Structure 1
Amino acid sequence: MKYLFPVLCSLFLSLACTAQTGGGVKSAGNTGAAQGIRMNLDDITAQTAIENVIFDTDFSPWGRLIFPADSGYRSGTTLGSLRLTWYSHIDAAKTVEIVRYFKNQTLRGGQFFFDIYTEEEKRLDPRKRNTGLFFFRGKKGAKSAICSAGGGFAYVGAMHDSFPHALELSKHGYNAFALIYRPGSQTACEDLARAIAFMHEYAAELQIDTADYSLWGGSAGARMAAWLGSLGTERFGEKVYPRPAAVIMQYTGLSEVYGNEPPTYACVGTADGIASFRVMEDRIRRIKSNGTDAEIEIFEGLPHGFGLGTGTVAEGWIDNAMKFWERNIQKR
């Protein structure tokens, strides 16, 4: 299977190396923060310490996965000052909203974090302890989506690149999952395949509709969505599950087209120094030439990692992506 995943581009590798030099890579579990913190909902503001969120007893044991498990890829000490490697336009208000959403869910007593691997699987591969699905509940019985953040296959930038998307989808009534996966192109796709399997196997308990589901991703996460959409769960260690009704991709310079791509929406900025808008535009053109629905939005002057695009020329792209998905649900 190695031929499916060529070595990451030198830009990603050099940036990843740069992010790990200097003070050295630290684990989020070794920050020295006091244990046993329990925040009130009103305590969660832009001034809230990131460590207080990680170690909040209501968020145990998954609080450490809200932010990158490898803290070498983030900076800032508060929710308002959070910065993630390779990402622009991090919205502090959205970061606060997401943490408050998690706190609200814990206060209501509902489960919204799910392990995708058993204890035995995690014992055999300890990296699987840093995986799981955050569930953003929409309407019961509504369609479902899985969002995968980017991070150059070096870390998972969920706070900016998948949590906001999943939350927005849930506000529109959809049931959305945000995947925390093992960095690395192969392992990330294995984890996404497992997440798809989990979603289908527990659909009745979760009260969700998995028919015509969609896969969403930014940067590395967009590659994951595209690869699973084209190659299927069976190519990554799971049994055969239905392919997605739509793949939604943000800012990734993926060029390969196999000829069996699902309907695909893409968006990217012209000032993206990591993902070429021309490469993305060409891929969409080739998918369309195969008779498959495909669409791209190109935003003048935007760099890599604009997320929801709030306050930029890209604002509203997620509404267009949802309409694209809905259009392809209706076609099936």
Structure 2
Amino acid sequence: MPLAEIGSLLPYHTQVRPETVVGSLNRMIDDVGKGRTVFYDIYTEAQKRADPTKEHTGLFFFSGRPGAPFAVISPGGGFSYVGSVHEGFPYAAEISRKGYNAFVLKYRAGQGGAIATQDLAAAITYIFENAEALGVGTQGYSLWGSSAGARMAASIGSHGVARFGGKDLPKPSAVVMAYTAHSDHSADEPPTFVAVGEQDGIAPHSAMERRIAALRKSGTEVEYRKYPNLGHGFGPGTGTSAEGWLVDAIRFWERQ
């Protein structure tokens, strides 16, 4: 398949730019060439033997400054695939360029949101337990997600890591959500950045706005961006009205 057609592998995504995909993949290739580890297992060998579905989970790592806070990115894909090449690796590359450490989660697809969110909880726990070896700071971390991945990030933000099988850890300092109709929320939500396309037919902005209203009513800080002429799954938004939203979201995280 020519790289120009890679978007055809991502049915829930739009605006897939091959040059953006290749740029973030080349970043990982360069890191490997420098002797850096770019992928970490989040489950032990014993855990994977006990549950073979955990075999292909893990974290891709885009390192930033040693000791800087980290972000964990959960790409979308309708829980049927993990769209890392479009709304995972490019996000992490941008976050890393700003000096922060970024992880992209490869979670179990095809088993629904609960299992995927358990993988996110396991990933956060792994990072906290191995922060010194990874060279990351644990204060003020953030969770990012798009579409199905945004549901995962928001669920941890609402209910905490332990609720989904991880350790009793602090909630994120910020949650960054892109285009999801997720409605669940708690009385104690982290500051939240929201991005959505005005023409999204899968996760209409009206659904997002109802959740935003509930968060603001409870006193949660929310920054909301609605972009014209865009549908679902625009990823980094390169060449669209949403271009630059990742930088805005990083700034929001920095303020928290």
TM-score normalized by the length of structure 1 = 0.74
Secondary structure of the equivalent of 2:55?
Answer: helix
2:198 match: 270
Deviation at 1:196, TM superposition (A): 0.5
Alignment pair present for 1:106 and 2:32:
yes
Q: Which amino acid aligns with 2:154?
A: A
Q: Structure 2 residue aligned with 1:306, among 234, 239, 244?
A: 234
Secondary structure of the equivalent of 1:130?
Answer: coil
Q: Which amino acid aligns with 1:120?
A: A
2:223 match: 295
1:174 match: 100
Contact kept, 8 Å, 2:199 with 2:228, in 1: the verdict is yes
Contact kept, 8 Å, 1:80 with 1:95, in 2: the verdict is no
Deviation at 1:257, TM superposition (A): 2.2
Task: Say what the alpha-carbon RMSD is for the aligned residues.
Answer: 1.0
1:205 match: 133
Note the alpha carbon deviations across 1:233-273, whole angstroms, 9 max, x for none: 11111220110000000000112222211111101011111
Note the alpha carbon deviations across 1:40-73, whole angstroms, 9 max, x for none: xxxxxxxxxxxxxxxxxxxxxxxxxxxxxxxxxx
Note the alpha carbon deviations across 1:283-315, whole angstroms, 9 max, x for none: 112111111111110011201000111110111
Q: Which amino acid aligns with 1:182?
A: R
Contact kept, 8 Å, 1:150 with 1:217, in 2: the verdict is yes
Q: Structure 1 residue aligned with 2:248, among 310, 320, 329?
A: 320
Secondary structure of the equivalent of 1:260?
Answer: coil
1:232 match: 160
Unaligned 5+ segments in structure 2 are none
Q: Structure 1 residue aligned with 2:177, among 230, 244, 249?
A: 249
Contact kept, 8 Å, 2:28 with 2:62, in 1: the verdict is no
1:23 match: none
- What is the total number of aligned residue pairs between the two structures? 252
Q: Which amino acid aligns with 2:5?
A: S
Note the alpha carbon deviations across 1:141-162, whole angstroms, 9 max, x for none: 1111000000101111110011
Alignment pair present for 1:223 and 2:147:
no
- The CA distance in 2 between the partners of 1:234 and 1:100, in whole Å, is 35
Q: Structure 1 residue aligned with 2:6, among 82, 99, 105?
A: 82
Deviation at 1:80, TM superposition (A): 2.8
Alignment pair present for 1:127 and 2:58:
no
Q: Which amino acid aligns with 1:90?
A: V
Secondary structure of the equivalent of 1:82?
Answer: helix
- The CA distance in 1 between the partners of 2:73 and 2:129, in whole Å, is 18
**Which one scores higher on RCO, CA 8 angstroms, separation ≥ 6?**
2
Unaligned 5+ segments in structure 1 are 1-76
Q: Which amino acid aligns with 2:89?
A: F
